[in-house]
Structure formats: C-alpha cells, structure tokens
Chain A
Amino acid sequence: MTDVMHVLPYLVAAWVFLAGCYGLATSRNLIHAVGCLSVCQAATYVLLLGVGYRKDATAPVFSDIKPGSRTVVDPVVQALTLTDVVVGATVTALLLALVVQIAKRHGTVDPDELSELRG
C-alpha cells in the first residue's frame, strides 16, 4: 500500500492528462475540445502539488499557527499553480472567443466539417 502511495498522485496526473488528450483528439465539437484542454491543465496542477507535498505537514501560512511549530509543505510549487489557475481560465476564455469566431465564419464547430471546408 505504501509503495503505491509513493506514486499514486503522479499516476493520477498522468491518467488525467492522457484522458484529456484523448478527448481533444477525438472531439467532434470545439467547445468540448476546450473543456478537454482544461482537463489537461488540471493534470499539471495535480502533478505540481503532488511534488510539493510533504507527509504530515501543513500549509505554509502562518496567520493561525506559530512559524516553526509544524512542518510545512513546499510553497514554491503552490505559488506556480495558483497563478496558473487564474491565468489558465483567461486563456480558456481566449480559446472560447476563437470558437465563437469560427462559428460565425463557418457556421459549424465540428473540426471534421471545418477541415472539409478548407480542403
């Protein structure tokens, strides 16, 4: 059990990432594809925070505990993830704006129909 526990978060991150990639590649609707991309993003958050975790530690926030009284987890990866969550949402919005434009220009959001239109 403990051996599995040593890699389980990383494996979950890998699984989520691959699932998102599969959805992206087989998607028939660009809005669905953007949703799958946000699933891929979630995988990176799980991986980063998994790397920064320390057993039996707590958050490095000292508003309600004394500094040094408890071991703390790694704050650096948390800072990376925190900004990315919000910035990732605006990037999702940018992609959705592109989808709206595609729907206006071509009247469809199915990637297969779109490539037929081009070819």
Chain B
Amino acid sequence: MSRRVRLWLVLAAGTGLAVLLVAACLDLPNFGGDRHPYGDRAVRASIARHTANVISSVNFDQRAFDTLGEMTILFGAVLGCVMLLRQTRDEHRARPRPAEVAPPVRRYALLVLPVALVTGIYVVAHGQLSPGGGFQGGVVAATALHLLYLGADYGALERIRPLGVYEVGDALAASAYVVLGLAGLLGSTAFLANSLLPYGTFNTLSSGGTVPLLNAAIGMEVACAVVLLLARFLDQAVEIEKENGE
C-alpha cells in the first residue's frame, strides 16, 4: 500500500471516527454535572473505614482486586522489558568513560537525591491521608536514584544499585500484595477484604485498616520495577554494543 493511499484511508477513517466521537460527546452527561452515584457511595464507604484519601480507599480497598490486575500488568511489562533488552551473544559491554560534569550540577544532584528519595517515601507513607500513594511515590523514589547517573556517571549508579536486590524486592512486594489478599480470605470474609485490622483514628498514619500495607507493597513494587526498567535501558544505551566485525 503506497503512502498516498494510506493517507487517504487514514483521513477517511479519521473523519468517520471524529463524527462518531463528536456525536457521543454531545450525548454525554454535561461536564460538571451533579449526578455521581458511584462517587458518592465511594466517599461514604471510605469515611466509614476511616480512610481520609478516598482515592486510596478506592484503589486499595474497594477496588483492591482491580489494582492487583494493574500490578500484574506492571510486573508483566517489566518482565517483558528485561527479556527483550538482555545482552545477546554478539554483544559485549564496554566501560563508558566518565563524563565531566560541571561542579554545580554535580553538587545539585547529590543534594537533591536524598531530598527526592525522602519525598518519595513521604508520598507513599501519606497515601491514605493526602494526595499520593504507592504508584506516585514509588516512581519519585526510583527516579531520585537516577540523579546519580545524571549528576555523576553510570559507574556510580551501578555501585549503589545491586540489581539482584531490586529483583527480589519486586517479587517480594508483588507477593506481599497477594499474601495480604489471602490473609483477608483466611482471616475474615473475602480475598483482599479490608476487615482484618482495626480502622484506627481518622486522618492518622495508621488509619484505614489494610490500606497502608497494600499501599506500601505497591510503592515498593513500583519503585523496584522502575529501577529495573531504567537499568535495562541504561545498559543498552550506555554500555552494551555490538561485537566488532560481526
């Protein structure tokens, strides 16, 4: 199929899709409307279980099973990346020569690294209270580690990043989520049911029953997953190259 024909096809199909989408938009409930039956019920259920951040309550309590599915996608995607980007037989590792980083940039990176790491942990820990949670905090903490690559060089990052530990951490966090779910099944009513632990005082760190635990498991899982992902990409982009003459 030539580019020309394909462009016409795209334009025709796009126009059709656009007409359908606009028609659907005009029939949707008005933006900013007042009818949110599911939302109102979710808010009531969350307050009944002493979870101040309703979104965390939805993610880790009311729809915790759905989050298990999301976590599986995450796990699978990382597994796929690790498989796809492993070193093949016709490739070898070359030590990258360290880059010269301007002193202020290096100082900034080394100063901000711990701050960002602590912020990431803070975001995870306060997930059931204020905006944040395992998904966001995990990414922030994992990104913070890579300031070492940006501010120093790849060798420095490799020294503080024993990949085996992160692989184990990833698997442990994923299984912790499932184990917590099974504990709900054995100890009370159903898989991932939030009735094992006392709900605690509203708006304190230990409130919400199993929500903070599941939240922490996801935080660890996401942080380890992102570190592993970036490690593979960094290896490919910085170190691994094709064997010469092959």
Which A positions have Cβ atoms within 8 angstroms of B? 5-11, 14, 17-18, 21-22, 25-26, 50-55, 59-64, 67, 72-79, 82-87, 89-91, 93-94, 96-98, 100-101, 104, 112
**Contact between B130 and A79, CB atoms less than 8 A apart:** no
Which B positions have Cβ atoms within 8 angstroms of A? 3, 6-7, 10, 14, 17-18, 21-22, 24-26, 28-34, 36, 38-39, 42-43, 46-47, 52-55, 57-59, 63, 66-67, 70, 73-74, 77-78, 80-81, 84-85, 88, 126, 129-131, 133, 135-136, 138-139, 202-203, 222, 225-226, 229, 232-233, 236
**Cα-based distance from A82 to B139 in the complex (angstroms):** 13
Question: Of B32, B63, B129, which is within 8 A of A63 by CB?
Answer: B129
**Least CB separation from B59: chain A residue:** A79
**Least CB separation from B80: chain A residue:** A94
**Least CB separation from B34: chain A residue:** A54
Question: Of A10, A84, A86, A87, which is within 8 A of B28 by CB?
Answer: A10
- Whether A74 contacts B135 in the complex (CB less than 8 A), given A14-B18, A63-B129, A112-B3, comes out as no
Can you list 19 contacts pairing A with B, beta carbon distance less than 8 Å?
Answer: A11-B25, A14-B21, A18-B21, A21-B10, A26-B10, A51-B29, A53-B31, A60-B39, A61-B52, A62-B52, A62-B53, A63-B53, A75-B55, A76-B42, A76-B58, A78-B55, A85-B135, A86-B138, A93-B77
Contacts of B22 in A (CB 8 A): 11, 14
Write the nearest CB–CB distance from A108 to chain B, whole angstroms: 15
Number of A-B contacts (CB under 8 A): 167
**Contact between B43 and A86, CB atoms less than 8 A apart:** no
**Contact between A98 and B84, CB atoms less than 8 A apart:** yes
Contacts of A6 in B (CB 8 A): 30-32
**Cα-based distance from A22 to B10 in the complex (angstroms):** 7
What is the predominant secondary structure among interface residues of chain A facing chain B?
helix
**Contact between A54 and B32, CB atoms less than 8 A apart:** yes
**Contact between A74 and B39, CB atoms less than 8 A apart:** yes
**Contact between A18 and B232, CB atoms less than 8 A apart:** no
**Contact between B53 and A61, CB atoms less than 8 A apart:** yes
Contacts of B25 in A (CB 8 A): 7, 10-11, 14
**Contact between A86 and B39, CB atoms less than 8 A apart:** no
Write the nearest CB–CB distance from B28 to chain A, whole angstroms: 6
Contacts of B59 in A (CB 8 A): 79, 82-83
- Whether A75 contacts B21 in the complex (CB less than 8 A), given A87-B73, A97-B81, comes out as no
Contacts of B7 in A (CB 8 A): 25-26
**Contact between B53 and A5, CB atoms less than 8 A apart:** no
Contacts of A85 in B (CB 8 A): 135
Contacts of B225 in A (CB 8 A): 90
Question: Of B18, B26, B38, B52, which is within 8 A of A76 by CB?
Answer: B38
**Contact between B39 and A91, CB atoms less than 8 A apart:** no
**Contact between A100 and B55, CB atoms less than 8 A apart:** no
- Whether A82 contacts B32 in the complex (CB less than 8 A), given A73-B39, A93-B229, A93-B233, comes out as no
**Least CB separation from A83: chain B residue:** B70
**Contact between A72 and B39, CB atoms less than 8 A apart:** yes
Write the nearest CB–CB distance from B47 to chain A, whole angstroms: 5
**Cα-based distance from A11 to B28 in the complex (angstroms):** 11
**Contact between A63 and B21, CB atoms less than 8 A apart:** no
**Cα-based distance from A82 to B131 in the complex (angstroms):** 11
Question: Of A18, A53, A100, which is within 8 A of B17 by CB?
Answer: A18
**Contact between B38 and A5, CB atoms less than 8 A apart:** no
**Contact between A62 and B203, CB atoms less than 8 A apart:** yes
